[in-house]
Structure 1
Amino acid sequence: MAQSPTVNGQTSIVTLTMNPALDITTAADVVRHTDKIRCDGARYDAGGGGINVARFARVLGASVTAVFPAGGATGAVVTDLVAEADVSIQRVDIGSPTRESFTVNERSTSKQYRFVLPGPRLRFAEQGLCLDLLRKAAATAGFVVASGSLPPGVPPNFYQRVADICREADARLILDTSGTGLTHVRSNVFLVKPSVRELRECVGRTLDTEGEQLGAAHELIDRGMAQVVVVSLGADGALLVTADENKRFSAIPVQAVSGVGAGDAMVAAIAVGLSYGWSLSKSVRFGIAAATAKLLTPGTAACSRADVERFFEQSREPTDITAVSR
């Protein structure tokens, strides 16, 4: 069995981002078609699910290594921004440029417009190099977080290959993805964090009630896909489901600046809590606190550790749910 190194009693975390992005955030008075939209100065952040998780976990004091492919001028900027966040980097050089994502906040309505590109097509050899780096990094990690979309050229069962590598390395996999990348995963996931929409995609039916959502989460566990399911409910909080328990967590109300990256902050804090050996319930409470703190920041900027700790103190213990529709 592989032994994970510890720093001050904390096991290390590795993140995998197959489709990183240079996140650009700006604001405009009004967004309308045809007209030129005069925007403010732009903010640039390294993005993509796993990279966001790595940056946020580092702010919370974790030892983190980020594995990701990158290419072109945008890939160089993303790499520099990850390094500036004091995250250890394992980069695979690719032949195509890393994608950009563009967010515009409309001041007149407080609406947010997000434009997300598909990303570069990864060659088979480039995919293999990502898995090789992950295999080496996972061998000494306590947790691996695979998060975000799969870029063009990557097969839908890619995350199952990631899950198998984590099982072989004795590292616990936390998975946060959607679409075919999620629906083609069958086993070896420790914790999966779907939204209700993503959970609906997994089971192929509407999930209008809490009982139906709990039943669907148990279905994933019964299939052997994951040991733990955390269903993110946005402003309604979250559900924690294992084979033996069902818990409901309340959200912490705040006036949001931006919802971008809140889910990644939640995953990051859950991973950090678990890396300290905290219980699932305490770790999910920490995740909700981090997601709340992230709502106060622009774009995919990292949230403040002080804000996370403040909201964690305000968070409530979960409610046990006994009735489950199965």
Structure 2
Amino acid sequence: MKSFDIVTLTVNPAIDKSTHLKGLIPEQKIRCEAARYDAGGGGINVSKAISRLGGTSQALFTTGGFTGKLLEELINKEGIASKTIAVESWTRENFIAVDDNTNSQYRFGFPGGTISPEEVQKIMDSVSCLDTQFLVLSGSVNEGLSDDFYSEIAKKTNAKVIVDTSGEALKKVLKTGVYLIKPNVGELAKLIGREQLELNEIDDAAKQIIADGGAEIVVVSLGPQGAALVTKDAYEYVPAPNVVKKSTVGAGDSMVGGMVWALSQNKSLKEVIRWGVACGSAATMNEGTQLFKKEDALRLFEWLENK
């Protein structure tokens, strides 16, 4: 069996369906352009981002029903190595619509189906068999999964675990301790019991989590202000490049993909955070659910290197 340096786990994947329309009017039929379908979900998007950069990973994900088969086809077309975990519930769908009259984007997310205890065990067994350097746990979790699901997954592997989630699931995983987390500044504040944080307080807040054994690296997403990477010994702040934003869908996943790819290439932490910001910013330059173009990410990385 081929081993991969990076494996991404997506327990709540989705088919992302996107379209354009001209005007939202209640109680009237809205004429839409032909829909675009993309494989979605946190870990899957991370694998797609790694592929955009010329890297390789294995996408491990649940799949069920007709939509699950479509998801598998879309991932195969991307040329991404994958391993599926069959579940009874159908793979969910998300819907993204752009009103061309106002350039407003509407994002409709649907919950994932219930995962049974037997299916949870199948996921755990799949992770236990992995031989990988980095395991990325990204995205929301389904009905039937406890808040400590990611924490239990982290205990099943010797890989460096990278987590991109929120709420109680993120709090629980810190009790186990992982390699890297990527909260936004609001999430970071909640993790240390604060209502909000100023930019100059991020370093100390992240170091508090590191000192408590929650993570070795904390990357704080600051939206249009960029991002900061913190370890026990270092602090790297990177401003976001000024780009024309068309969509924020997948920007966070693109950021994680850029960083884990850079880590797998033994890049310095300074380069890791710059690749993350470059890929995340590049993703906002494309419409819908298309993530980023490699040439945009390269150009933005070079700009950040010269800052």
Regarding TM over 0.5, the answer is yes
Among all aligned residue pairs of Structure 1 and Structure 2, give the percentage whose two residues are the same amino acid: 38
Q: 1:175 aligns with which of 163, 167, 185?
A: 163
How far did residue 192 of structure 1 move?
Answer: 0.3
> Post-superposition shift, 1:162?
1.7
Residue matched to 1:187 = 176
Specify the code of the residue in structure 2 equivalent to 1:59.
R
Gaps of 5+ in 1: 6-10, 319-326
Q: 1:279 aligns with which of 262, 268, 275?
A: 268
Moved segments of 4+, more than 6 Å: none
Partners of 2:93 and 2:109 within 8 A in 1? yes
Task: Determine which of 251, 258, 279 is the counterpart of 1:262.
Answer: 251
Q: TM-score, normalization: structure 1? A: 0.89
In structure 1, C-alpha distance between the alignment counterparts of 2:215 and 2:184, rounded to whole Å: 15
Are 2:217 and 2:230, in contact at CA under 8 Å, matched by a contact in 1? yes
Q: In 2, distance between residues paired with 1:32 and 1:97?
A: 31
TM-score, normalisation: structure 2: 0.95
State the match for 1:157 in structure 2: 148
| Secondary structure in structure 2 of the residue aligned to 1:288 | helix
Inter-partner Cα distance in structure 1 for 2:109 and 2:19: 14
Measured in 2, the distance between the counterparts of 1:303 and 1:198 equals 25
Matched, 1:305 2:305: no
2:217 counterpart of 1:224:
no
Match of 1:30 in 2: 23
- Distance (whole Å) between structure 1 residues aligned to residue 194 and residue 28 of structure 2: 41
Matches of 1:41 and 1:197, distance apart in 2 = 37
Alpha-carbon contact 1:183-1:201 (below 8 Å) kept: no
CA contact (8 A) 1:12 1:62 kept: no
- For residue 88 of structure 1, what is the aligned residue in structure 2? 81
- Name 2:238's counterpart in structure 1: 249
Amino acid at match of 2:166: S
Deviation at 1:112, TM superposition (A): 1.2
Conservation of the 8 A alpha-carbon contact between 2:99 and 2:105? yes
In the aligned structure 2, how far is the partner of 1:199 from the partner of 1:34?
41
Give 3-state SS (helix, strand or coil) of 1:184's partner.
helix
Q: State the shift of 1:149 in Å.
A: 0.3
1: CA distance, partners of 2:306 / 2:196:
25
Query: Is the 2:184–2:222 Cα contact (8 Å) retained in structure 1?
Result: yes
CA 1:135 to 1:62, structure 2 compared with 1: closer, same or farther past 3 Å? farther
Letter of the aligned partner of 2:218 in structure 1?
A: V
**Residues 122-168 of structure 1, C-alpha deviation per residue, up to 9 Å, x if partnerless?**
0111111112112222x2x11111100011101100111122123xx
Cα offset for 1:286?
Answer: 0.8
Give 2:29's aligned amino acid. K
Matches within 5 A, 1:192-211: 192-211=181-200
Query: 1:130-149 alignment to 2 at 5 Å?
Result: 130-137=123-130, 139=131, 141-149=132-140
- What are structure 2's unaligned runs of at least 5 residues? none
Give the letter for the 1:290 counterpart. C
Corresponding residue of 1:106: 99
Match of 2:61 in 1: 68
2: CA distance between counterparts of 1:42 and 1:200?
39
Alignment root-mean-square deviation, CA: 1.7
Structure 1 residues 35 and 214: alpha-carbon distance in aligned structure 2, compared to 1, 3 A threshold: farther
The one-letter amino acid paired with 2:216 is Q
**In structure 2, distance between residues paired with 1:200 and 1:128:** 33
Deviation at 1:32, TM superposition (A): 4.2
Q: Distance in 2 between matches of 1:202 and 1:112?
A: 30
Task: Give the secondary-structure state (helix, strand or coil) at the position aligned to 2:242.
Answer: coil
Which residue type is aligned with residue 173 of structure 1? V
Deviates more, 1:116-125 or 1:34-43: 34-43
Alignment length (residue pairs): 305
What code does the residue aligned with 1:203 have?
Answer: I
Q: Which residue of structure 2 aligns with residue 8 of structure 1?
A: none
